[in-house]
Amino acid sequence: MPPECIAQTPLADRTAARLLVLDRQSGTIDHRHVRDLPGILRAGDLLVLNDTRVIPARLHAIRPSGGQVEVLVLHPSGGAPGVWAALIRRSARLQVGERLTLLGSEQRIGTSGDAPTLSVRRKYDGGEFDVCFDGVADTSEVLRLLDDYGQLPLPPYIKRPLEDGERYQTVYAKREGSVAAPTAGLHFTPELLRTLAAHGVAQEYLTLHVGAGTFRPVHAERIAEHRMHQEWFELGAEAALAIQRTRLRGGRVVAVGTTVTRVLETQTGADGIPRAGSGWTELFIRSGHQFTGIDALLTNFHLPRSTLLMLVAAFAGRERILAAYQEALRLGYRFYSLGDAMFLL
């Protein structure tokens, strides 16, 4: 990927992003903008969006020896209150039982006597740990600590912090728990959503908390050997019923992003009926997957060798997706999290 094609900053107007529209049956491509969606979607269609909110999950901490580490907390690990799964950089010699002192956003040397601490509870392969927020009673208290000490965990290809952190949140984000944004949703504004509703396009929400594995490339020689990351989701009864009714009326279920796709494909059987529920999904959507939960997909442009690219290739066809990517590159589309979008119908 040419570096100049990777979007580093969001557009001033979320809806001004370019939109490559790909017809999966004919292979034809049209070039539009996100603001054109009211003329692309039909009355009776249903947009399904992910209402997760990115937490300031990146922490800087100092070891008893004085060395600094970077901690990316992922999700509650279960068991004792305050215990979370985490990735820790520069952790080669980190030992179970070590206590790390959190550093504030402007503090990179020294420690404060009353600064919160983390204790390393368990060490796994690949830089994964269980850490305990010492003296913390519940998840809400952990989230308050993250607000005070954490930073938004932007993808590694974004080289500088955003001036406005809310631009890495969807306008409808409300349920805290992700370490990355559901980026297809970043293109929507309240005004666009209202316009779509006025055109008869209904909207429903589900939750999937995006994990760090979303950036993990596939290194296995055989795709089937890739270990898919787990992500927590919830599909409510009202949303599931609205999806079923949309199908019965002949409308299309339009997934806003790969995160929504994973939930709906996890919860929808061969009969096309979605089941409400919550839990963890590790569904790996790749070539050969039979889609039963969605009819169309709005998504950004994804990294090479990623499971997200494999998902969209499974939905629209590998050769057509690769051809569409080449066309987008030729025409100067902006790629990845802060970039432009595709609509696959």
Mean of the per-residue pLDDT values of the chain: 92
Global pTM? Answer: 0.93
Higher pLDDT, 282 or 106: 282
Q: What is the mean pLDDT of residues 302-322?
A: 95
* pLDDT at residue 220 in the model: 73
Length of the chain: 345
Lowest-confidence pick of 53-62, 64-73, 90-99: 90-99
pLDDT at 112 over 80: no
State residue 128's pLDDT score: 87
Looking at CATH, the fold of the domain delimited by 3-54+163-344 is given as QueA-like (3.40.1780)
pLDDT reading at 45 higher than 70: yes
pLDDT at 92: 67
Cα 240 from Cα 204, distance rounded (Å) = 9
pLDDT score for 240: 98
Q: Which string of b and e fits 147-185 if b means at least 16 CB within 10 Å?
A: eebbebbbbebbeeeeeeeebbbbebbeebbbbbbbbbb
The pLDDT assigned to 109 comes to 43
Question: What pLDDT is recorded for position 111?
Answer: 45
What 3-state DSSP class applies to 213? helix
Q: Which CATH number applies to 58-149: 2.40.10, 1.10.287, 3.40.960, 3.40.50?
A: 2.40.10
Least confident of 28-37, 48-57, 59-68, 76-85: 76-85
DSSP 258: H
Q: What is the pLDDT of residues 125-135, one digit of tens each?
A: 767 899 999 99
Q: Mean pLDDT throughout 308-337? A: 97
Can you tell me the mean pLDDT for 150-167?
94
Domain boundaries, the chain: 3-54+163-344, 58-149
- The residue-averaged pLDDT of 40-46 equals 98
CB neighbours of residue 143 within 10 Å: 16
For the purposes of burial, counting CB atoms within 10 Å of the CB of 39, is it exposed (0-12), middle (13-18) or buried (19 or more)?
exposed
